[in-house]
Structure 1
Amino acid sequence: MTDDRRCPDVVGNGLVSLSRREFVSTVGAAATVASAVSLPNVILADEKKPQQPESLVKKLYGSLSETQRKQVCFDWDHVDDERGLLRSRVANNWQITDKEKYNVASAFYTKDQQEMIEAIFYGLYSADWKKQILKQLKDDAGGYGKQQTIAIFGQPDTGKFEFVMTGRHLTVRCDGDSADHVAFGGPIFYGHAAQSGTEAPDHPGNVYWHQAMKANALYKMLDGKQRKVALVEAAPEESAVDFQGKQGGFDGIRISELSRDQKEHAQGVLKTLLEPYRDSDQVEAMKLLDKQGGLDNCHLAFYQSEDIGDDGVWDIWRLEGPSFVWHFRGAPHVHVWVNVADDASVELNA
């Protein structure tokens, strides 16, 4: 896939202080709060407790007319002539269906359906992150609604299914664990251009830049020899997040080679990356990472290329393992590509 940096509209193992069990306990403590995220009342099951996104996808699917299904529902393995296996595609700026006709705020959907779609979307995130998500949507797409589209793959009423929403700086999924061996239902994308074009070195107003600052704080903890290993001259193509497997040639420094306090900070970086998402997706991502050897089996790389302001705060960095890739590109603004599974045989469609 061509990297478009302008985002045009057309276009455990051995870890020190925080094991997966402890991580699950930490994020699980927020689950009750997350389930209380403010959602439209029309989709409440008992007027007190919001339904889970998976249940809402089934309800939404059941409410669609035949005319609607023809436009936004596809077979599980539907292949687009130009875009490949549509269910697993990911990109920095794309529409899965016709934006002008079928955006999520259009009259193509009834009011109840619009509310269900909105509830599904926000239900995929932590309640603590709704304000940040709203800001990103406002800055990048004028707000939630007219610039996002959805599709449903498979049969939510009888079998495996996947709900996908796309837009500028957005690919997010809900699959009810239909897609085997993968987190987040498949590869996802998030980003933010808080300013037009290239952002200043400190990325003012960017809701995701703190993730880079957390990672850069770890870089500052490295000694001279470690920095020589961790710092790489040229960054790979940002969308190149296919899995390399156990024999992969990974950039950067292996987490297992870090000191105790450095490992603890690396766990904090991972937690910061996961925190925007709902509790169940955080837990699943950690579970799959454990199956491939945990964070100890990952590498962390920082890239000298495109250092905004030449300030040594690395705008581009990457956390990668055999079947785990979290690529953060902060130049000229934030693009983040995420691909997590328990098996490197899972293929990416970008």
Structure 2
Amino acid sequence: MNTPLIPSASRRDFLSRSAQAAAAGLLGSAFGASSPATSETLVQQLYGSMDEAQRKALCFAWSDPRRLKVDNNWHITPQKIRDVLKPDQQDLVRQIFDKLHSDEYKSEVWRQFDQDNKGDGGFGSASIAIFGQPGTNQFEFVLTGRHCTRRCDGDSEKGAAFGGPIFYGHAAQGFNEKPTHPGNAYWYQAQRANEVFQALDGKQRETALLGESRDEDGSDTVKLSGKIKGLEGISVGDLSADQKDLVKKVLADLLKPFRQSEREESMKYIEAGGFDNLHMAFFKNQDVGKDGVWDVWQIEGPNMVWFFRGDPHVHCWAHIREPKGV
């Protein structure tokens, strides 16, 4: 005798629960009840909201040379976001930029950006570009303006912290800042670096303290040398254990304004390049106020450069990559 194919009670319950779960999943997706948004997912959302004219103005091939350019005051596209993006799209750009930074420091990052771009109309004066196809494994978003080059790439640019070289800076109280740089969002970084100098003995200071720093020259400012020897300043490998520990702590503090994933990736690449291969240099000829607190300094290794120029106000250039052969 054939039994009709009627689901048992347990099977009916299973099918019912499955249908409910699927519906809940669809509703959750529709109302945003999914994983928290990241800068990368917001870039994808921004890209999806663009019309043909906006994409033509702001979206380019992955191979475009502007993708990895960095400078202290520039616009990656001539169109400012206030002129090409709708208000809700501008808000997405704000969220993308916001989520690139740590909760601890983002208020200071915004204060700097708003102050430095106030004369040009604030955040709307920034410019953006998107390279490649968001949502794939090859895309990059870049935001530029005065004292700002920031990137978001979902690790598309393989082996590069921050998606490539970045720039940040601040002119807190005018172009020529006072020796203590009052109100500067990033001066704390120089104060921490100067703690390393103070921890050096006389001979070490002679090695670490040089005359003139490197020039600022766009992307060439942070061109990586690949060298282990012959870099400027004192080798971290020649420092004592406690001095090395202090340098590590300073590096961690330099990274504090940025999101956790970038901090972790940066430290991973720095350590892979050999912590003892880093060199630290201070430059006496650019000492604002001649107070012996060195406004200009750098940390450089074969696969990283962190160049801080505090004369006449703060400019900072950073570039960290996975060492070759790793």
TM-score, length of structure 1 as denominator length:
0.80
Q: Does 1:104 align with 2:81?
A: yes
* Paired AA for residue 190 in structure 1: Y
- Structure 1 CA distance for aligned equivalents of residues 313 and 167 of structure 2: 14
SS, match of residue 180 in structure 2: coil
Indicate yes or no: 2:260 matched with 1:284.
Answer: no
Equivalence for 1:95: 75
Q: How does 1:1-350 map to 2 (within 5 A)?
A: 46=32, 50-78=36-64, 85-98=65-78, 102-106=79-83, 108-142=84-118, 144-239=122-217, 240-293=221-274, 295-343=275-323
Contact 1:89 1:187 survives alignment (8 Å): yes
Give the gaps of 5 or more residues in structure 1: 1-43, 79-84, 346-350
**Distance in 1 between residues matched to 2:73 and 2:95, nearest whole Å:** 22
Q: What SS class does the counterpart of residue 68 from structure 1 fall into?
A: helix
One-letter identity of the residue aligned with 1:128: E
CA distance in 2, matches of 1:337, 1:110: 31
**C-alpha distance after superposition, 1:119-150 (max 9, x if no partner):** 10101000111210121012210174222110
- The structure with the largest alpha-carbon Rg is 2
Percent of residue pairs identical: 47
Using CA pairs below 8 Å that are at least 6 residues apart, which structure has the higher relative contact order? Answer: 1
* Distance apart, 1:157 and its partner CA: 3.5
- Report how many residues are paired: 292
In the alignment, structure 2 segments of 5+ residues that lack a partner are 1-29
Question: 1:304 & 1:258 partners in 2: Cα distance?
Answer: 21
SS at match of 1:184: helix
Describe the SS at the equivalent of 1:335.
strand
TM normalised by structure 2 equals 0.85
Aligned 8 A contact 1:129 1:276 in 2: yes
Deviation at 1:46, TM superposition (A): 2.9
Distance (Å, rounded) in 2 between the aligned partners of 1:298 and 1:220: 18
Per-residue Cα deviation, 1:323-346 (whole angstroms, up to 9, x for no partner)? 10000000000000111101369x
Where 1:305 maps in the other structure, the secondary structure is helix
> How far, CA to CA, are the matches of 2:244 and 2:168 in structure 1?
26
Higher helix share: 2
Following the alignment from structure 2 to structure 1, what is the Cα–Cα distance between the partners of residues 189 and 208? 17
| SS of aligned partner of 2:125 | coil
Instruction: Decide whether aligned partners of structure 1 residues 306 and 255 sit closer, same or farther in structure 2, where only a CA change above 3 A counts.
Output: same
Q: Distance in 2 between matches of 1:342 and 1:265?
A: 23
When the two chains are superposed, the root-mean-square deviation of aligned CA atoms in Å is 1.9
Distance, in Å, in 2 between the alignment partners of 1:150 and 1:144 is 14
**Deviations along 1:32-72, whole A, 9 cap, x unmatched?**
xxxxxxxxxxxx97368640111111111111111110000
Q: 1:176 to 1:45 in 2, by over 3 A?
A: farther
Q: Distance in 2 between matches of 1:155 and 1:88?
A: 16
CA distance in 2 between counterparts of 1:144 and 1:296 reads 42
